């Protein structure tokens, strides 16, 4: 049971105030670091301020000082000091939004994320799917991303509604139990029915803060299996099986193999992408990256039963494939 004892803290009318409170940590909140917990519950408070009150000892657990690495335990009594937030920050509230639900129960929410929507805020994005879901579901005690999808990738996104589910699913992914499948349309003459790509990936940040990945010796081991689903004269539809889960793995493996994903603005064929924006006599237009997380198989974190979920190919992608005419294969 979560209990709160608030101490009034009167502030100028130009400011909004989170009052001092004592919070008892529940089973679902246990296990996370104190800094991450405060960043979640003190919405709108700058990260620098959260770490300042931790360093100063204003945050107490069971009446004692702790550092930012402390992991919460069920039953811990946390004192959160009065924190003032500039009214400007409170006005920039995240708009609540729901997304197409593929599966939901008391432990898990699985949505079909649209292309063009970030999964979380950061890197110039004010908010993403997870912040919008929390705003739309203020009664939800726990909502956390199980994994991530690139902003321009559509498809299945898992969100845990209990910390036990989050931990369980993270363990499954680390142990290679989950099976994630994507559909990607590429340019080029793809030949093999089934092809393994094992190329090491190195992640770096450009001077302007953009996250990038390159194939580089000494990088992280990465393994993708591609299955040919359909083939046209200049294009192919592939199913990608992720054997590892590196940043931009499918996109970089395909681009480095000479088969850029259609519409990929980071690693693709930029001249082709521009041409694809407009329809011609041979095909329709494509105005997004053609990469879709269409299937995932995992063990339900509570029942232990295997679960396979699918998200249909988005309409704009399906229309593009239909416009190509009858496939050769």
User: CA-CA distances (angstroms) from residue 139 to 73, 134, 305?
Assistant: 22, 9, 28
Residues 6+ apart with CB under 8 A from 36: none
The CA distance from 183 to 111, in Å, is 17
Angle, vertex CA 114, rays to CA 112 and CA 120, nearest 5: 90
Q: Is 208 a catalytic residue?
A: no
The CA distance from 302 to 323, in Å, is 44
Active-site position among 150, 171, 208, 318: 150
As annotated, the active-site residues are: 150
């Amino acid at each position: 049971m979560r209990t709160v004892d608030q101490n009034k803290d009167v502030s100028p009318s130009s400011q909004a105030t989170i009052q001092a409170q004592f919070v008892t940590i529940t089973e679902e909140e246990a296990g996370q670091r104190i800094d991450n917990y405060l960043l979640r519950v003190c919405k709108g408070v700058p990260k620098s301020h959260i770490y300042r009150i931790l360093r100063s000892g204003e945050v107490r657990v069971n009446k004692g000082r702790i550092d930012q690495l402390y992991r919460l335990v069920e039953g811990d009594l946390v004192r959160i000091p009065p924190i003032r937030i500039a009214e400007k920050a409170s006005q920039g509230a995240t708009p609540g939004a729901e997304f197409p639900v593929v599966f939901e129960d008391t432990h898990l929410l699985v949505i079909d994320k649209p292309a063009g929507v970030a999964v979380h805020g950061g890197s110039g994005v004010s908010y993403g799917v997870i912040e919008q879901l929390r705003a739309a579901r203020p009664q939800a005690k726990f909502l956390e991303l199980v994994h991530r999808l690139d902003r321009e990738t559509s498809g299945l996104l898992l969100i845990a509604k209990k910390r036990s589910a989050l931990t369980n699913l993270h363990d499954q992914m680390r142990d290679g139990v989950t099976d994630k499948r994507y559909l990607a349309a590429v340019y080029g003459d793809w030949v093999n029915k089934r092809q393994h790509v094992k190329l090491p990936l190195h992640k770096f940040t450009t001077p302007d803060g953009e996250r990038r990945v390159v194939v580089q010796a000494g990088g992280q081991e990465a393994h993708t299996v591609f299955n040919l689903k359909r083939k046209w004269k200049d294009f192919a539809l592939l199913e990608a099986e992720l054997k590892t889960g590196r940043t931009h793995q499918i996109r970089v493996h395909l681009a480095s193999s000479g088969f850029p994903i259609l519409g990929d603005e980071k690693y693709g064929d930029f001249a082709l992408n521009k041409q694809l924006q407009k329809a011609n006599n041979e095909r329709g237009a494509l105005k997004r990256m053609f990469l879709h997380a269409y299937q995932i198989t995992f063990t339900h974190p509570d029942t232990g039963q295997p679960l396979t979920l699918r998200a249909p190919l988005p309409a704009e992608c399906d229309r593009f494939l239909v416009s190509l005419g009858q496939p050769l294969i």
